[in-house]
Amino acid sequence: MKVVLFCGGYGTRMRTGAPGDVPKPMQLVGPRPLLWHVMRYYAHFGHKEFVLCLGYGAEHIKSFFLTYEETASNDFVLRGGDIVLLGNDISDWTVSFVHTGIESSIGERLRRVRDHLDGDEMFLANYADVLTDAPLPEIIDRFARSDAGGSLMAVPPPGTFHCVGITPDGLVDQITAVTEMPLWVNGGYFVLRQEVFDHIPENGDLLVDGCRELAKRGRLLAYPYRGYWRPTDTVNQRLELDRAYSRGDRPWALWERTA
């Protein structure tokens, strides 16, 4: 299945504002950018046809792949000046680089790459900055067995806040971590059918327009997941992932378990 990745937003909470800022999908976690980690997750499960929805910072993403160095994340032998790779990452990937506008919404970016899906009945879509160890084959199989038009992964709201229950008398009668509440938020990792395009107007949004309309029609599935899921909306979240990578704590790197 083809994988559409949204990697053209400004990522303002990740940027310093300096000219030439590296876009959020290209921020490093270990030796590779966030985008690579997301793509590697899909490739681990055999989904190696990617459509990148480019916008802000497109030149950084193009340059990364055009000058890709396999030796940065693979063992190799240097013999007589020649490099013999003992592994590889992207040699069997197909990546389409599609500029979908600087100001485009997620839904509009998806609309602009529809022709690159070759009319496939089902396809995958995701943000380029969210990592997980979720069982992708199970998510896809569950969706394929249904007649729904779309599916998204639902995750507990991230954060360390606690919800406080207050009685009519102003007494606190309950304190519960927000992650333990019966609340779910959109975690990405969409599985979609072509039907979703019927509900996304020009400059519309995938979630607010497309998914909401599918939900109204009873045609949107959720895959509730309480396992590992990490967004990287801020610099601190990215640094936390980078530190975890350095100490070998990287649950999302499923490909390393079978390497």
CATH number at residue 222: 3.90.550.10
The answer as to whether 166 is a domain residue is no
Listed residue (39, 229, 221) closest to 138, CA to CA? 221
Distance, in Å, from the CA atom of 95 to the CA atom of 113, rounded to the nearest integer, reads: 13
Q: Dihedral sign, CA of 230, 50, 151, 225?
A: negative
The answer as to whether 203 is a domain residue is yes
What tens digit of pLDDT does each residue of 28-60 get? 999 899 999 999 999 999 999 999 999 999 999
What tens digit of pLDDT does each residue of 112-148 get? 999 999 989 999 999 999 999 999 999 999 999 999 9
The answer as to whether 169 is a domain residue is no
User: Looking at the 3D structure of the chain, how many domains does it have?
Assistant: 1
Q: What is the pLDDT of residue 150?
A: 97
The answer as to whether 242 is a domain residue is yes
Q: What is the pLDDT of residue 259?
A: 52
Q: Dihedral sign, CA of 196, 221, 186, 15?
A: negative
Q: What is the pLDDT of residue 233?
A: 86
Determine the structural domain holding residue 147 and report its residue range. Answer: 2-157+184-257
Strand duo 32-33 + 82-85: pairing:
unpaired
The answer as to whether 168 is a domain residue is no
The answer as to whether 167 is a domain residue is no
Q: Which residues pair with 50 in a beta bridge?
A: 3, 95
Q: What is the pLDDT of residue 18?
A: 46
Q: What is the pLDDT of residue 141?
A: 97
In the chain, which residues have pLDDT < 70? 11-20, 258-259
The answer as to whether 208 is a domain residue is yes
CB atoms within 10 A of CB 95: 16
The answer as to whether 170 is a domain residue is no
